[in-house]
Structure 1
Amino acid sequence: MDRTAACTLLFLLAVSVNTGLCSPLAAKEAWSYVKVRDGAHMFWWLYYADSQSAQSSELPLIMWLQGGPGGSGSGFGNFEEIGPLNRKLEPRKTSWVQAASVLFVDNPVGTGFSYTDRPDAFATNVATVASDMLVLLQHFFTERAEFQSVPFYIFSESYGGKMAAVISLTLTEAIAQGTVKCNFAGVALGDSWISPLDSVMTWGPYLYTTSLLDDSGLADVSSAAEAVKRAVEQQQFAKATELWSVAETVVEQNTNGVNFYNILTQEPDDRSSFAVVENFISLQTRRHIRPLHSQSLRELMNGSIRKKLGIIPQNVTWGGQAEDVFSYMAGDFMRPVVDVVDQLLSAGVNVTVYNGQLDLIVDTMGQELWVKRLKWEGLPGFNNMRWTPLDEPTSTGITGAFCKTYKNFAFFWILKAGHMIPSDQGPMALQMMKMITQQD
């Protein structure tokens, strides 16, 4: 079933607190389900580009993939980061819909409004995630043929980047085989879990250089990270995921509860205390899944948004299977996909890495390490380039980011941003998106 609205959210008015004026959002939308496997159903939500200077057919199509795994693009990415309205249903000035059509997909199955009918339908690795997404994209580009020639980009965040890399390679192969017809133009990996071990191994040095660990704390964190490293080297990935949880607890205990998503903020509760009463899966979902499902967002998605969409099965709750998604993927969690990025670059796919300066969970130091190990033939040329500073869009003369581009690879450092860059630095994120999609 497919619903398209000529005027979106007709039952909602965005109220400006400052002006007292009411202004309806006027973008075109569509949403639907795709059965990707027996017992597995994926939900997508499309916003057509709403630009005053160009038609949607003249602007790119962006698919946004959230992290977790278990984070919802239709919820968090949409209402907390880049969609046309924020969580309070007020217009977002930095919405990406003003420069592109945006496709939110609740991925993997069980995320957001996506759902499974039975336990064995959950994905347990990124290969299945990519296979499911390919089925969805085949349906989407067949049913919405107007997007087949539009430049198509995949943007991602956190674990969504790991999935995006594998999905991009699968899609590239499908396009070459003629099983999907679309104009795939590139993938952007935001604060992405591409090489988990490189992230974990640099937590200590990063926190130490930012005065969040003393010598003893650095020793504790480094010791915990080494345990993760040994498990990864022995290919014991389920054990590595559990030890990763232990390492995070050691970080919290030695930093008085640093926020893994932005080191300049602090969690309101002492999450390290949960370690004594919860198993590591429960602890990690509390750390990394529940923050993407705040009470206010859950109420919005399971209330007025659910009513608006009109196609959500009665037994499906937005976010209701999110923790199961994370749990079933735990054995695949610490596996790297650096080799996949290498394959994408070698195949000529445009690849962008972007990272927030204040992110800890996927710190920039760790990103640099795996990038420097790429086997891509263009890496020496990339390494020899100097960084280009980018001004903040709203403050000329103030540096908002650095970037470097060589052939089909680019890297953006976004200053004063943590893990969720569009939330922390919306104007800079929008400008970066336009640069990647060659609009600036």
Structure 2
Amino acid sequence: MSPLTECFYLSFFLVIVVRQGLCSPRRAGSEAWDYVEVRPGAHMFWWLYYADSPSAQYKDLPLVMWLQGGPGGSGTGFGNFEEIGPLDRDLQPRKNSWVQAASVLFVDNPVGTGFSYTEKSDRFATNVSTVASDMLVLLQHFFTAKPEFQSIPFYIFSESYGGKMAAAIAMELTKAAAQGSVKCRFAGVALGDSWISPLDSVMTWGPYLYSTSLLDDYGLSDVTSAAEKVKQAVEKEDFLKATELWSMTETVVEQDTNGVNFYNILTQQPDEKLTSAEGENFIALQARRHVRPLNRQSLSELMNGPIRRKLAVVPENVTWGGQAEAVFSYMAGDFMKPVVDVVDQLLAAGVNVTVYNGQLDLIVDTMGQERWVNQLKWEGLPTFSKLRWTSLDDPASPGVTGAFVKTYKNFAFYWILRAGHMVPSDQGPMALQMLKMITQQD
């Protein structure tokens, strides 16, 4: 970042602080942030934006927690400045920010992600169970520190691997809220392009790419063969091996499609095709594929420069994104495990569950999402399956279909058109409308 650019950023934030009134080192008017030590030596960072609506007070609007993917992607960074926060990466107001319709809580989760950090290597989470228990500690602290949110409808929204974590967190939160150990009004969970059933995603890559003319017959055979090996490892419950074979399958896809972008099939990989470097293991390769794009250099400069100074609580030895790839590595053994059974438990418990998916996503393609949904044991599935979907106009282009939706009882599915893996980035107006519909706003 150039000195001139950095000076601009600092000047911008000085204006914001002056306008809002700096109430404390951890509060600037319509924002708040802090750390929570969720386990000894494991520190998780959160950042809250109070709803900023011209027609309603924040207490009359829901609270939404956003969970990023990876694992190792930062909600306070990528989700905030690249997707749904009040400002974009250039610190310009975002027209379709979710803060218009809800208070938004970004959490750098699991520990080691973004500004969150661990003091020792044995403090990283290795499975979604630990991720969920860590989050419950954070939420206990949050709702105690912010009692004004205890009676406000609270939703968890997620993206990618964040959805897998969100399902587990939602289940534990349901229990905790019922017991009173977390004082909140939990209203539902939304799973966006989520890694709920990894095998169903991998097994549909070939057919999806073939149907969109991105594979020929030879390519389809190659990808199908590689995916079958992943399936065999999952069936043997050798999940670390399955993660390695998943990595190999992605390499086959890249080679046979000439570098299709896993996050949007209409584009190619933004960088050079990621073949494994000599001596590099599959975990390092996958971290480069799926974690580094969420920690891109321009975003890192913003977060480690003016944002860090604005927050004024980040320890000197902590770098935003500095432990991101380690987060991914420690979760590798849990990566390919499905959590479809957790979604079933949520539905049976009466929790409102929404699945939404971008039409152009590959890594979590819609075909794979529909496949695991059709395997649910939820008693409402037979009726849900017989329903026709309803078209939704694109708010940015009236008269043009922007999505389809189907809802029955406490389950909903949104098919978002012309969007890839990051739905709010690709179709901001449609994503904002979906948020309002899910949170039952007119």
Do both share a fold (TM > 0.5)?
Answer: yes
**2:224 aligned partner:** 222
Q: Secondary structure at the match of 1:265?
A: strand
Counterparts of 1:202-241 in structure 2 under 5 Å? 202-241=204-243
**1:339 aligned partner:** 341
Q: Secondary structure at the match of 1:112?
A: coil
Displacement of 1:13 after TM fit? 6.4
Displacement of 1:275 after TM fit? 5.2
Counterparts of 1:282-431 in structure 2 under 5 Å? 282-431=284-433
**The one of 147, 156, 163 aligned to 1:145:** 147
Displacement of 1:272 after TM fit? 4.0
Cα distance in 1 between the residues matched to 2:275 and 2:170: 39
Contact 2:274 2:289 in 1 (8 A): no
Where do 5+ consecutive residues of structure 2 fail to align?
A: 1-8, 21-27
Cα distance in 1 between the residues matched to 2:315 and 2:277: 35
Partner letter of residue 116 of structure 1?
Answer: T
**2:281 aligned partner:** 279
Displacement of 1:282 after TM fit? 1.1
**1:245 aligned partner:** 247
Displacement of 1:24 after TM fit? 7.3
Cα distance in 2 between the residues matched to 1:128 and 1:299: 30
Cα distance in 2 between the residues matched to 1:275 and 1:11: 42
Contact 1:130 1:163 in 2 (8 A): yes
Cα distance in 2 between the residues matched to 1:218 and 1:152: 43
Cα distance in 2 between the residues matched to 1:29 and 1:244: 40
Kindly tell me: are residues 283 and 295 of structure 1, through their superposed partners in 2, closer, same or farther at Cα, counting changes over 3 Å? Answer: same
Counterparts of 1:32-43 in structure 2 under 5 Å? 32-43=34-45
Q: What does the per-residue CA deviation read over 1:411-434, in whole Å, with 9 as the maximum and x for residues that have no partner?
A: 000000000000000000000000
Kindly tell me: are residues 101 and 27 of structure 1, through their superposed partners in 2, closer, same or farther at Cα, counting changes over 3 Å? Answer: farther
Partner letter of residue 12 of structure 2?
Answer: L
**1:19 aligned partner:** none
Contact 1:237 1:333 in 2 (8 A): yes
Q: Secondary structure at the match of 2:163?
A: helix
Cα distance in 2 between the residues matched to 1:14 and 1:61: 27
Q: Secondary structure at the match of 1:263?
A: strand
Where do 5+ consecutive residues of structure 1 fail to align?
A: 1-8, 16-22
Displacement of 1:274 after TM fit? 3.0
Contact 2:203 2:228 in 1 (8 A): yes
**2:6 aligned partner:** none
Q: Secondary structure at the match of 1:139?
A: helix
Cα distance in 2 between the residues matched to 1:256 and 1:63: 37
Q: Secondary structure at the match of 1:317?
A: coil
The question of 1:53 aligning with 2:60 is answered: no
**1:190 aligned partner:** 192
Partner letter of residue 388 of structure 1?
Answer: T
Cα distance in 1 between the residues matched to 2:119 and 2:80: 25
Q: Secondary structure at the match of 1:264?
A: strand
Q: What does the per-residue CA deviation read over 1:99-133, in whole Å, with 9 as the maximum and x for residues that have no partner?
A: 10000000000000000000000000000000000
Cα distance in 2 between the residues matched to 1:404 and 1:24: 44
**Structure 1 vs Structure 2 CA RMSD:** 1.6
Contact 1:43 1:113 in 2 (8 A): yes
Displacement of 1:377 after TM fit? 0.3
Q: What does the per-residue CA deviation read over 1:378-420, in whole Å, with 9 as the maximum and x for residues that have no partner?
A: 0011111101000000211100000000000000000000000
Partner letter of residue 348 of structure 2?
Answer: S
Contact 1:27 1:47 in 2 (8 A): no
Contact 1:29 1:48 in 2 (8 A): yes
Kindly tell me: are residues 151 and 304 of structure 1, through their superposed partners in 2, closer, same or farther at Cα, counting changes over 3 Å? Answer: same
Cα distance in 1 between the residues matched to 2:84 and 2:35: 22
TM-score by length of 2: 0.94
**2:97 aligned partner:** 95
Cα distance in 2 between the residues matched to 1:345 and 1:335: 20
Q: What does the per-residue CA deviation read over 1:324-361, in whole Å, with 9 as the maximum and x for residues that have no partner?
A: 00000000000000000000000000000000000000
Q: What does the per-residue CA deviation read over 1:14-35, in whole Å, with 9 as the maximum and x for residues that have no partner?
A: 99xxxxxxx9789600000000
TM-score by length of 1: 0.94
Contact 1:221 1:250 in 2 (8 A): yes
How many equivalent residue pairs? 425
Cα distance in 2 between the residues matched to 1:27 and 1:415: 37
Cα distance in 2 between the residues matched to 1:269 and 1:189: 28
Cα distance in 2 between the residues matched to 1:322 and 1:90: 26
Q: Secondary structure at the match of 1:377?
A: coil
Cα distance in 1 between the residues matched to 2:129 and 2:159: 18
Cα distance in 1 between the residues matched to 2:29 and 2:375: 43
**The one of 133, 136, 140 aligned to 1:134:** 136
